[in-house]
Amino acid sequence: MLYETFEKIYALEKQGKEITKLNVGEPDWRPPANVIQVVCDALRKGKDKYSSSAGVYELREKLAELHGCNAKNIVITTGSKWGIYALLSLHMRAGDNTIVLSPHWTAYDLICKQLGGQTKIVDLKMENKFAIDFNKLESAIDSNTKFIILNSPCNPTSKAWSEGEEQEVISIARKKGIIVLVDDAYRDLCFDARKERKFEDNLFIVNTFSKTFGMTGWRVGYVVVPEDIAKRLTSLNNITTTNVPVFLQLAAIKALEQKTKVAAKARVVCKKRAELASNILNKKLTFSKPDAGFYIFPKLPVETINFVNKLLDSGVAVVPGAAFGNYNQHIRISLSVDEKKLRLALEKIAELL
Ligand code: PMP
């Protein structure tokens, strides 16, 4: 459904309609200029050949420092989406399942199904501020469960579970002998500025340069996993994507050097927009206030498909909540346009209600 909405918008734009795209899963900020410069220089220097399927060593070393492990634990992937797909594909066989806290990013479910496995959805309620029901989570685990996916902060709710809650999920998984795959795509954008996640034994960390640095189209992601898994993933890269372009990996090293500054700046933008959205929407809608990033996931008094279509006709695109699980009365609004446009679009949403 998420991807169908995108196609509809592209068609409307082709007809010349101007759409404020609050449906996109990407920030509107640009990568730092000196990062772009590295790409240009690297291309001129011929850094555009086949390369290691594990990734550029210096980048892996820098990431290992960040996550408290060895470069052998790091594999650079074609976006974190490929990292997630690849890790699941190395472990899941027909009949296996992965547990996903919902609302959830659509791709998890589609990937599991694509691999012949199942997704076990654990629904969380906005009325409880999307708190994790640990009993429900534990009883969802069975002998075919391979993973729990923990996406904190979460797409689409921007809920960031506390460190204590995250550790509780990890210890339940450890007790049951399964792995927690943490998808940290939005972690840098937590309003309470979290520390870097450290490597642990039953944790697969997946992360990306996409969101923090506004590098979504560059397709630079990475995983932090035990050495044997890193080797298997490198072999899988070898027969599929080969390598993330070296000129982009070299630029990612430059981006990492500025991570603290870039992330802090992004958090300020996100927080300001989240407050703006909360102030405009709380007159008409209920929602759990974002803890991070650029999504808000309000609940409407009605089912949302018709509303989303009507809104699109009036020039604002959002995604219906059904794209993220059993959340027919919700919409995901991506707060990823400048504040002037954002205010107008949010007011249009409130007006249409
Ligand atoms: N995880 C989540 C939760 C996401 O929302 C996205 C992008 N929408 C990704 C992973 C993938 O990001 P990328 O492949 O660009 O690294």
Q: Determine the Cα–Cα distance for residues 134 and 167; give it in Å rounded to an integer.
A: 11
Domains and CATH numbers, the chain: 2-31+260-352 (3.90.1150.10), 33-258 (3.40.640.10)
Question: Which tokens is 51 given?
Answer: 């390369």
Local structure of 100: helix, strand or coil? strand
Q: Determine the Cα–Cα distance for residues 26 and 218; give it in Å rounded to an integer.
A: 12
Look at ligand 1, atom 8, and give the residue with the nearest C-alpha: 25
Secondary element (H or E) of residue 112: helix 106-114
Look at ligand 1, atom 5, and give the residue with the nearest C-alpha: 155
The pTM is what? 0.96
How confident is residue 126, by pLDDT bands cut at 50, 70 and 90? very high
C-alpha 329 to ligand 1 mean position (Å): 24
pLDDT of residue 303: 79
Local structure of 63: helix, strand or coil? helix
Each residue's pLDDT tens digit, 27-51: 999 999 999 999 999 999 999 999 9
Pocket of ligand 1 (CB under 6 A): 25, 79-81, 105, 151, 155, 183, 185, 208, 210, 216, 221
C-alpha 105 to ligand 1 mean position (Å): 8
- Give the number of the atom of ligand 1 that is nearest the alpha carbon of residue 220: 16
C-alpha 299 to ligand 1 mean position (Å): 23
Q: Is the pLDDT of residue 111 over 70?
A: yes
Look at ligand 1, atom 2, and give the residue with the nearest C-alpha: 185
Each residue's pLDDT tens digit, 62-95: 999 999 999 999 999 999 999 999 999 999 999 9
User: DSSP labels for 123-178?
Assistant: E--GGGTT---HHHHHHH--TTEEEEEE-SS-TTT-----HHHHHHHHHHHHHHT-
How confident is residue 353, by pLDDT bands cut at 50, 70 and 90? confident
Look at ligand 1, atom 1, and give the residue with the nearest C-alpha: 185
pLDDT of residue 284: 86
C-alpha 210 to ligand 1 mean position (Å): 7
- Give the number of the atom of ligand 1 that is nearest the alpha carbon of residue 154: 3
- The residue whose CB lies within 8 Å of the most ligand 1 atoms, and thus the one to mutate among 105, 152, 204, 219, is 105
User: DSSP labels for 189-251?
Assistant: GBTT-PPPPPP-TTEEEEEESTTTTT-GGG-EEEEE--HHHHHHHHHHHHTTT----HHHHHH
